[in-house]
């Protein structure tokens, strides 16, 4: 990827576009931090693939431009190619430095990812590379895991398989249910996402190209960087 997210030499906020499908609690955390001045970003726009996503209400309330590219408009399902064409035009107009998938539930094609106007990161509710895909909380309990958490990774054509940048970890209790675990993990996400975006905005982490990602370990402990938090 050729876009440099390194903001160390500039005071300009990082231009961030966010893709959502649901409640948007993670989007809200970014909005709050931006408005509080604790995160040097400008959220330049939000794309939702659902017209009923509460995330769009949150964005509008913060006067952030919203594009709804509903996967079911007028009873007709919008194919992924059409979604990607509209999303690509919108992103090109917004000129983001970084694209954040925050609870975005459509699988994007390799050509969309490779041609996007900025690097893309995704928030995933597991300690990748373990438990890619859906129903992660249920699956970790069924497998008797002792630890769980969330990861932020670079988006590539392979689902949930790009370089893992950061993770937050929690211990699984014997009494944990999938619903309870989902809530505990989401509390971690709300800390991990702004922390990771801050590292990118400050140029501590770079997504300039694959080589830069792999060479970060020269300056930092081996990726992923881990947050151990009280949840």
| Residues catalogued as catalytic | 124
CB of 104 to ligand GRF, least distance (A): 8
Nearest-approach distance from CB 130 to ligand GRF, in angstroms: 14
Q: Does 138 engage in binding with ligand GRF (CB under 6 A)?
A: no
DSSP state at residue 182: H
Distance of alpha carbon 42 from alpha carbon 97, whole angstroms: 10
Interatomic CA distance for residues 172 and 180, integer angstroms = 10
194 contacts ligand GRF (rule: CB under 6 A): no
Q: How far apart are CA 130 and CA 158, in angstroms?
A: 14
In the window 139-158, what residues touch ligand GRF (CB under 6 A)?
Answer: none
Residues 30-49 that bind ligand GRF (CB under 6 A): none
- Strands 66-68, 41-48: pairing is parallel
Q: Are 18 and 27 in contact (CB under 8 A)?
A: yes
CA nearest to 189, candidates 107, 101, 60:
101
- Closest to ligand GRF by CB, 103 vs 162, is 103
What is the distance in angstroms between the CA of the first residue and the CA of the last residue of the chain? Answer: 35
Specify the residue, 20 or 197, whose C-beta has the smaller distance to ligand GRF: 20
**Among residue numbers 52 through 71, which ones bind ligand GRF (CB under 6 A)?**
55
Q: Kindly state whether residue 125 participates in binding ligand GRF, applying the rule CB under 6 A.
A: yes
Beta bridge partners of 98: 16
Stretch that binds ligand GRF, among 20-28, 34-42, 69-77, 81-89 (CB under 6 A): 20-28
CB of 169 within 8 A of CB of 226?
yes
Nearest position to ligand GRF, beta carbon: 103
Q: How far is the CB of 117 from ligand GRF (least distance, A)?
A: 23
Taking CB under 6 A as the criterion, the residue among 3, 13, 25, 156 binding ligand GRF is 25
Q: Applying CB under 6 A, does 23 fall inside the site for ligand GRF?
A: yes
Note whether 102 binds ligand GRF by CB under 6 A: yes
CA distances from 10 to 13, 125, 196 (A): 8, 33, 18
Contacting positions for ligand GRF (CB under 6 A): 20, 22-26, 55, 102-103, 123, 125, 186, 189
């Amino acid at each position: 990827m050729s876009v440099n997210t390194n903001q160390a030499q500039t005071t300009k906020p990082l231009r961030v576009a966010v893709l959502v499908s649901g409640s948007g609690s993670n989007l809200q955390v970014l909005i709050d931090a931006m408005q509080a001045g604790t995160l040097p970003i400008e959220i330049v726009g939000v794309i939702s693939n659902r017209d009923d996503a509460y995330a769009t209400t949150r964005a509008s309330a913060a006067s952030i431009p919203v594009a709804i590219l509903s996967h079911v408009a007028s009873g007709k399902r919008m194919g992924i190619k059409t979604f990607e064409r509209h999303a690509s035009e919108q992103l090109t107009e917004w000129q983001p430095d970084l694209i954040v998938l925050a609870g975005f539930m459509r699988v994007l094609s390799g050509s969309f990812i490779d041609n996007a106007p900025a690097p893309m990161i995704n928030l995933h509710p597991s300690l990748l590379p373990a438990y890619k895909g859906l129903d992660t909380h249920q699956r970790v309990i069924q497998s008797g895991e002792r630890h769980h958490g969330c990861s932020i990774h670079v988006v590539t054509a392979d689902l949930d398989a790009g370089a893992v940048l950061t993770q937050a970890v929690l211990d699984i209790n014997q009494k944990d249910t999938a619903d309870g675990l989902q809530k505990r993990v989401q509390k971690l996400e709300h800390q991990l996402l702004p922390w990771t975006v801050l590292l990118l905005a400050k140029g501590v982490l770079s997504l300039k190209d694959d080589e830069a990602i792999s060479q970060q370990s020269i300056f930092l402990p081996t990726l992923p960087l881990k947050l151990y938090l009280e949840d």
